[in-house]
Structure formats: C-alpha cells, structure tokens
Amino acid sequence: MISVHTSPLDQPGTGDAGGLNVYVVETAKRLGRQGIEVEIFTRRTSAALAETVELSPGVLVRHIDAGPYEGLAKDDLPGQLCAFAAGVMGHVARSPEGHYDLVHSHYWLSGQVGWLAADRWDVPLVHTMHTMARVKNASLAQDDRPEPSGREIGEEQVVRAASLLVANTPREASQLVDLYDANPDLVEIVSPGVDLETFTPGDMSAARSAVCLPQDAQVVLFVGRIQPLKAPDVLLRAVAKLLERDPARRQKLVVAVLGGPSGTGLEKPRGLQQLARELGIADVVQFAPPVSRVGLAQWYRAADVLAVPSYSESFGLVALEAEACGTPVVAADVGGLPDAVGDTGRLVSGHDADDWATALGNLLDDDVARKELSGKAIEHAARFSWDTTSDQLLHVYRHACRSAVEESPDLSMVDFAGIPTAPIP
C-alpha cells in the first residue's frame, strides 16, 4: 500500500489525517490476519521515526525520506513525488525479485507513485481515490480555495493507469465514470467499515461523566478536521439560529467540536473559536483536540446527535462510527453520506443555517424519534465491518492478479504472494 501524504500512524482528526488513515490501518490489519503480507509506504515526517515500524502482525509501515520532515504542506507534495518514488524503488532494490505482487495506492498523490511502482514491478495497480478534485470543486465552501488543475490532471492519469479502481459507493463509482472517463468495467464498489469492537452502544450517563459533560445537557457533537470542507461553521451558525428561536435552550445546550485545524483551516487556526464569539454562542461551544479511538467512542455515546455538515464526503466514517454507538446523525445530503446514514438519521439538503437549525432542533426535542433512530443506527452500522471490507478488497486483488495473468502469459505460473485465486463472487 502507498499513502504518501499521511501516515497510518498519525492521529486522525489533525493535519491531513482522517478517514483515509483509518481505512488504511483497519484494512491492512485485517489483511495481515488473513496471512497477506502488507507493507505501507509513507513519507517520514520526523527524524525520530524508525525506518520500519510494525503496525500489527504481518503489517509493516516503511518511512521514506522526501522533503523536509516538518512544515511541508500537502500542496507542496507533488514536488516531492520523484524523491518519494526514488526512495521506494531504492528499498525495493534490496528486496528479492517478485517480492511485491500488487500495489494499492490511496489518494491521487499515492496513485502517481503507485503507477510508477506497478509498472516497474510489472504488477497490478489498485487505486482508491478517497476524494476527487472535480467533486470537491463542484461544491466548495464559500471563500475556500479550489483544488488545482494539476491535481485534476494527476487524477486523470491515475484513473487511466490503474488496473482496477475501488469506489466507496455507487455514487462515487458514477463520478469516476462521468467526471474522469473511467472504464465502468474497471470500477469495483467496496464500502468502508466500522470497528464494531470499539464503537459499541453504551451508557450515556457514564460516557458523559467520562468526557466531563453535564448529565442533563442536550449535546450536539462534531467530529472532524477543522477546515471549510467539513463545514463546522455551518453547525455554529445553525446553533446561533436555534438559540435565537428559543433563548431558554441556552441553559442546556452543549456543542462539542472535536478536531484540529487542517487544509485551508490552518490559515485561521482559531477562526472557529472567533466565529463562536461573533455569533454570541461561545458559552455553549466546547472545543476539544482529537482523541483515541476508545475515547472517541465515549464522545459518541455522550452525544444526543452527531452533526456532519460537510460540503463533500466520499463516505463519512464518523457517521458510521456514531451509529455503531447508537447515536443518531444529522448529515448533509452529499457524497457517500446517504449510504453511511441510511434511514438512521436526518439528511439536510444544502447548507442553509435555518434548515440545519430546524433539523437539529426537531431531533433534539423529540426523545421518541431519537430512541427509534438509535436502534436503527445500531442495526445499520452492524451491516458494515472492516472484516467485510477487507474480504471484498481481497476479491478485488484476486481479480486484478488474475487479469494480470491472463494479459501476461509469462506470469501464468506466478503465485501472487499467497493471495488465494478462488472465484470472485
């Protein structure tokens, strides 16, 4: 696996670490349990990081030097792809011939390196976009910067180079075909999962004690990186509308925001706090840094509602995690969120603060509806697991390897690293 711009060892919720990190970690660990050897190449961001770190049995993280360890923005990384690719090739030169049987790249930067590596090693390239420039640019937040044309061109190249493309949802598969002219026969749909051992229903009272929230509060939770794309400002404006409509709600409303500044949000790292003050709601908003997965589960259990107002989401893992804990979700009707939420919450069209205030207020004030949605949320999330995702990825890998054999007769006797060649369902 290749993940250039963010390490699977990074804490999700800060910098560029988010759902992609969770995806890579969870699938790699489960592939390792099935006897598939996984090596994840990522950029070294600290001199203290060892060259190789064991993430879990059968899974190694290999750090590659490419550019300065700190202070390098994601937008600057295209200029370091040559150095990163050289580092990967240098490592592989010390490995026995045929050591790698398949490359799975994550995000377009990784796809550029994966394209070169797969071609050099004569193995299939499987690519997952995670996000796409043309999708993001079609639904930008106000004053947010569009993705550069160089990224669009790079994504087009990766789409053409990949043996197979993995999409999170049918909508994303259609976007790959419609916006990037992908061959629909080469697009496989594999839904992300949720850690059903960590994210489980629990006692709300105990959870609120654990995260220091009042027992009688109405709690709205936001989890994610603080940047315009994730639209935490939409939530704050909606909360201001709620309090304007019902000033008495101020006595019990708590809005918890978990995450760190990222992307263009780094330009104003305290901008959300400033907005809360300007809206006159600073007294009901609590800001907290990202926490461990176990700690995050407690926050989900402590909340009455999770708000996901993003302008674009390829899937929306936080929605699924909250649902697994029994927490209803109010989410924007964009990207993969309708698939992640299903009928377990409320979808809001657009990002108008009044509409969001209505959706949040109606659910906060309806105990019966929240209880019903909580039960549905648990059932819905149970249909998604990282074990299922990893099993489906294995089928994709088998498909890619089998196609490679059919196209290259010289490979017909190759054992693709023990990847079973059972028929694909």
Residue 231 marked in a binding site:
no
Structure confidence at residue 419 (pLDDT): 55
Residue 150 marked in a binding site:
no
At 221 the three-state DSSP class reads strand
Residue 91 marked in a binding site:
no
Find, among 281, 301, 192, 289, the residue nearest to 241 by Cα.
281
Find, among 177, 190, 169, 127, the residue nearest to 335 by Cα.
169
Assigned token pair, 130 = 């995670």
Do 111 and 409 contact (CB within 8 A), yes or no?
no
Q: Computed over its alpha carbons, how large is the radius of gyration of the chain?
A: 22
Q: How far is CA 155 from CA 116, 291, 315, in A?
A: 14, 32, 19
Structure confidence at residue 70 (pLDDT): 80
**pTM passes above 0.75:** yes
Handedness of CA 293, 297, 302, 306 (dihedral sign): positive
Residue 301 marked in a binding site:
yes
Handedness of CA 64, 68, 71, 75 (dihedral sign): negative
Positions in the chain whose pLDDT score sits under 50: 411-414, 416-417, 420-425
Residue 303 marked in a binding site:
yes
Residue 263 marked in a binding site:
no
Residue 402 marked in a binding site:
no
The DSSP letter of residue 263 is G
Structure confidence at residue 424 (pLDDT): 38
Find, among 36, 58, 49, the residue nearest to 126 by Cα.
36
Residue 321 marked in a binding site:
yes
Residue 291 marked in a binding site:
yes
Residue 18 marked in a binding site:
yes
Helix runs in 232-351, H state only: 232-245, 271-278, 293-302, 317-324, 337-341
Contacts of 81 (CB under 8 A, 6+ apart): 4, 66, 109, 112, 113
Residue 100 marked in a binding site:
no
Beta bridge partners of 125: 103
Residue 11 marked in a binding site:
yes
Q: How far is CA 193 from CA 19, 44, 105, in A?
A: 11, 27, 18
Residue 391 marked in a binding site:
no
Find, among 204, 220, 195, the residue nearest to 381 by Cα.
195
Residue 69 marked in a binding site:
no
